[in-house]
Structure formats: structure tokens, C-alpha cells
Amino acid sequence: MQNTNDFLKDMKKLGFGLMRLPKRADDPAKIDIEQVCQMVDLFMDAGFTYFDTAYVYDGGASEEAARKALVERYPRDSYTIATKLNAWLGKPDEAAAKQQLATSMKRLGVDYVDFYLLHALQLNNRSIYEDYDLWNFVRKQKEKGLVRHWGFSFHGTPEMLDQLLVENPDAEFVQLQINYADMENANVASRACYEIARKHGKPIVVMEPVKGGLLANPPEKVAEVFTKADPAASFASWAIRYVASMDGIMTVLSGMSNLDQMKDNISFMKDFHPLDASEKEVIDQVQQIIRDLGAIPCTACHYCTDGCPAKIRIPDIFRAFNIYKIYQDMAQAGRIYGMATSQNGKPSDCIECGQCEGACPQHLPIISLLKEAAVLEK
Ligand code: SF4
Ligand code: SF4
């Protein structure tokens, strides 16, 4: 059987992240399967094979969309699927956590999963994975042939990553958040985590290379630098090529949400060329600009919102606040803020319970940031 280090040579460096699939115009709660089929066809035609979903994405609809758009339409050996076991979102008990693999396989319509991950390990959930004995659970699923390769996705500190890889040296790969804006960001520590994974010889799947879409529409000063360097290149192409150029990368997940994004990603990843020296200098320049701007590094993952007693749409408020702070565009920020708060809580409704800060993979000081964002209430 092929091992994960073989994938470093063989796998093309773009993976289709199924976390932000397009929604139907006539029913925005449902995934637009027809468009997903077209996206899958373009992706497969270009020679890409890695699909990444999770038990918790879209309440299971992401896995079901993968079955309809991919599994039911392509031979099983022509693609690989990654999905994940989440032991903390929704607070499943041990039996429910262990049942997730069977449910994922049923939703996906497959009898094995190529890559199985313990999902979003971080400081505040690490003990659950240990208490439920889930590390051994995934090992057993591999022995049974239900899982071909296993690893974990990670949002914790570099020290915690090092410990996990010492304690679990048979983890075959790790999934890390790496993008040019977060390399030195203390909250995310992309560079330090990358270096630890490399030290342990683990192949790396990159998530959030475009930082939840933020780097596809970067601050004006950053956009100017990129446009001057290459007027034809999309902003997302700089972000994805940056991480795909690093050593030890298995694949780079792009959470594509429509056909245009798929076409753009394929245009520069089908015949991938790593960044050259002058392009790396451009990245150095924009990294400095972003550090100077000081935006809230929220990726809109929404892990913080489910348990908020004040029903505050935290990521939408931060998005509005970043637009206000970086672009000084109060009109646009006000519109986003108005939509976020018309049926939900405002920053001033926060009772400072701290639930959101414990759930945030970026370790953002949400309570104090909401106090700053209260400027938008005026
Ligand atoms: S601290 Fe505030 S924003 Fe966070 S969950 Fe509690 S009420 Fe909501
Ligand atoms: S504040 Fe943190 S948990 Fe909430 S959406 Fe942003 S990054 Fe995710």
C-alpha cells in the first residue's frame, strides 16, 4: 500500500476543501449539488484527486455532497477522501464520537476512508481525545482496513504539536493552518508549527492557505503590491502558491465556493511552478504591510458562535470591524454590522462568560475585541 511519504512525490498540490460549498440561489440553506458536480469535474479533469470533508461540515451535508458529486460519479480508485472525527463540537459522548466514522462512511457512500483525521486538536479539547481513547480508535480502524492513513488537524500551540508527535509517532501526517499572513502571527504560529512537523518528518496538509478567503481580497496596500508585481495573477494565487512552494507539503486545501474559484485555482496549480526569488520578495513585502495593519485574524470558522448565550455573530462583527479598521469604510462596515446584529446580539450584549474564547482555534481575545468593535454600534 502507498504510504504518505509517497504522496509527497505523487500527489498534486491542490486539494478540494468541501467546507464552503456553494449554496442554491433558490434555497440558501442547501448545497448547490449541480454546481459542485461541475467543480468536481473540472478538478478531476485537471488531474487533482484529494477531497477534504469532515463529519461536522454543514451538519453532514458536505459529506453527502461528496457522495453525490464525486463517489456516485467516479471510480473509487480515481480519488482520495479525507474526513474527520470531531470529539468536542456538540459535546458527543465516547460512543457517539466513535460512531462518527461509520456515519461518515454511510454519508459518503464508501467502505473505506483514505485519510482519517482527529479534528481540530487544540489546548482545550486535547483531553477529550485522550479520555475517549480516540488515538487508539483510529489505529484500530486502520488495522481493520476502514482507514488507509490517519493523522490529525491542529490549531494548538507549537509546544502542544511537538508533544502530540512525540506521544503519537505513528501519526502519518498532520494538517496545519499555514498562510503568508500568519507565519509570524503569535496566535496561529504557522512557521513554528510547520517547523515542528518537519522536524518529526511528517507530511503536511495545509488548511486555510487563503485565510478563510481574507487573502483573496487583501487590504488595498497589499493588493497594490501584488498587482504591480503581476497584474494578471489573482490574489488567491499568491496565497496558494506561497504554501505549495514549501517543502514537505502533501497538498494545499482550498475551500472553493464556486466555479470561478475552481477555474482560477486550476489555472495556476495544474502546472504548478513554485515562487521564484523575486516573487518571494513580494511576499516578504506584503507580510510586513499586514503586520503593520493589525487586523483581527478571525477565519470565520464559527466554532465560537454555537454556545454563545448572547447569540452574538462574532465572526461577522469582526469582519465588519476589520473593514472599518483597515479600509476606514464605515458605510460598508456598517452594512455588514447591521446584517449581523439585526436578529442577533450586539457586542454590548456580551456577558463575558468566556465560552467563545475557549472554542476559538485562533485563540483570539474575543471579549476585549468585541469591546473595541462596539464602536460600530454608534
Ligand atoms: S463571552 Fe460574550 S461573546 Fe463570548 S460566548 Fe460569552 S456572551 Fe458570547
Ligand atoms: S472568533 Fe475564533 S472561533 Fe470565532 S469565527 Fe473567528 S476564528 Fe473562529
pLDDT in tens, 269-298: 999 999 999 999 999 999 999 888 878 888
Mean pLDDT taken over the chain: 93
Give yes or no for a contact between 35 and 42, defined as CB atoms under 8 angstroms apart: no
Q: How much is the pLDDT for 193?
A: 96
Distance in Å, CA 363 to ligand 1 centroid: 14
Q: How many domains does the chain contain in total? A: 2
- Assess whether 224 and 107 both reside in one domain: yes
Distance separating the N- and C-terminal Cα atoms of the chain = 61
- Residue range 243-265: mean pLDDT, rounded: 96
What domain range includes position 348?
A: 314-377
- Residue range 322-339: mean pLDDT, rounded: 81
Q: How much is the pLDDT for 236?
A: 95
Amino acid at 353: C
pLDDT in tens, 81-122: 999 999 998 899 999 999 999 999 999 999 999 999 999 998
Closest ligand (CA of 317): 2
Q: How much is the pLDDT for 1?
A: 45
Distance in Å, CA 154 to ligand 2 centroid: 15
- The best mutation among 125, 318, 368, 372 to test binding of ligand 2, ranked by most ligand atoms within 8 Å of the C-beta, falls on 318
| Residue 309 in domain | no
- Assess whether 201 and 104 both reside in one domain: yes
As a whole-number percent, the residues of the chain with pLDDT over 90 amount to 77
Q: How much is the pLDDT for 333?
A: 84
334-347 residues labelled b (16+ CB within 10 A) or e (exposed): eebbeebbeebbbb
Q: How many CB atoms lie within 10 A of CB 237?
A: 19
Q: Which of 79-88, 235-244, 295-304 has the lowest mean pLDDT?
A: 295-304
Neighbouring residues of 288: CB distance < 8 A, sequence distance ≥ 6: none
Q: How much is the pLDDT for 283?
A: 98
- Residue range 189-205: mean pLDDT, rounded: 95
Q: Is the dihedral of CA 217, 223, 227, 229 positive or negative?
A: negative
| Residue 179 in domain | yes
- Assess whether 280 and 359 both reside in one domain: no
Distance in Å, CA 323 to ligand 1 centroid: 22
- Assess whether 241 and 359 both reside in one domain: no
- Residue range 332-356: mean pLDDT, rounded: 92
Verify whether ligand 1 is closer than 6 Å to residue 308 (CB atom).
Answer: yes
Q: Are strands 113-121 and 14-17 parallel, antiparallel or unpaired?
A: unpaired
Atom of ligand 2 nearest to the CA of 359: 3
- Assess whether 33 and 169 both reside in one domain: yes
- Assess whether 80 and 16 both reside in one domain: yes
Grid coordinates standing for 369? 475585541
pLDDT in tens, 46-72: 999 999 999 999 999 999 999 999 999
Residue 172 CA: distances (Å) to CA of 84, 116, 149, 347: 14, 10, 6, 42
Distance in Å, CA 101 to ligand 1 centroid: 32
- Assess whether 167 and 87 both reside in one domain: yes
Give the whole-angstrom CA distance, residue 20 versus residue 36. 11
Q: How much is the pLDDT for 240?
A: 97
Give the whole-angstrom CA distance, residue 180 versus residue 211. 9
| Residue 304 in domain | no
Q: How much is the pLDDT for 28?
A: 86
- Residue range 166-173: mean pLDDT, rounded: 98
Of the two residues 327 and 244, the one the predictor is more confident about is 244
Q: How much is the pLDDT for 328?
A: 67
Q: Are strands 147-154 and 14-17 parallel, antiparallel or unpaired?
A: unpaired
Give the whole-angstrom CA distance, residue 222 versus residue 249. 25
| Residue 196 in domain | yes
pLDDT at 186 over 70: no
- Residue range 9-38: mean pLDDT, rounded: 93
Q: Which of 216-220, 221-225, 278-282 has the lowest mean pLDDT?
A: 216-220
Q: How much is the pLDDT for 7?
A: 64
Distance in Å, CA 56 to ligand 1 centroid: 22
pLDDT at 4 over 70: no
Verify whether ligand 1 is closer than 6 Å to residue 82 (CB atom).
Answer: no
Give the whole-angstrom CA distance, residue 326 versus residue 319. 10
| Residue 299 in domain | no
- Residue range 314-337: mean pLDDT, rounded: 83
- Residue range 115-130: mean pLDDT, rounded: 93
- Assess whether 212 and 347 both reside in one domain: no
- Assess whether 33 and 153 both reside in one domain: yes
Distance in Å, CA 216 to ligand 2 centroid: 18
Residues in the chain: 378
pLDDT at 331 over 90: no
Give the whole-angstrom CA distance, residue 364 versus residue 155. 12
- Residue range 228-242: mean pLDDT, rounded: 97
Residue pointed to by grid coordinates 487583501: 218
| Residue 307 in domain | no
| Residue 343 in domain | yes
- Assess whether 263 and 337 both reside in one domain: no
Residue 244, domain CATH: 3.20.20.100
- Assess whether 213 and 356 both reside in one domain: no
Q: Whose CA is nearest to atom 4 of ligand 2?
A: 304
| Residue 302 in domain | no
- Residue range 23-52: mean pLDDT, rounded: 96
Give the whole-angstrom CA distance, residue 37 versus residue 15. 16
Give the whole-angstrom CA distance, residue 105 versus residue 98. 12
- Map the chain to HEC letters: CCCHHHHHHHCCCEEEECCCCCECCCCCCCECHHHHHHHHHHHHHCCCCEEECCCCHHHHHHHHHHHHHHHCCCCHHHCEEEEEECCCCCCCCHHHHHHHHHHHHHHHCCCCEEEEEEEEECCCCHHHHHHCCHHHHHHHHHHCCCEEEEEEEECCCHHHHHHHHHHCCCCCEEEEECCCCCCCCCCCCHHHHHHHHHHCCCCEEEECCCCCCHHHCCCHHHHHHHHHHCCCCCHHHHHHHHHHCCCCEEEEEECCCCHHHHHHHHHHHCCCCCCCHHHHHHHHHHHHHHHHHCCCCCCCCCCCCCCCCCCECHHHHHHHHHHHHHHCCHHHHHHHHHHHHCCCECHHHCCCCCHHHHHCCCCCCHHHHHHHHHHHHC
Neighbouring residues of 361: CB distance < 8 A, sequence distance ≥ 6: 120, 122, 155, 177, 299, 301, 303
- Assess whether 181 and 325 both reside in one domain: no
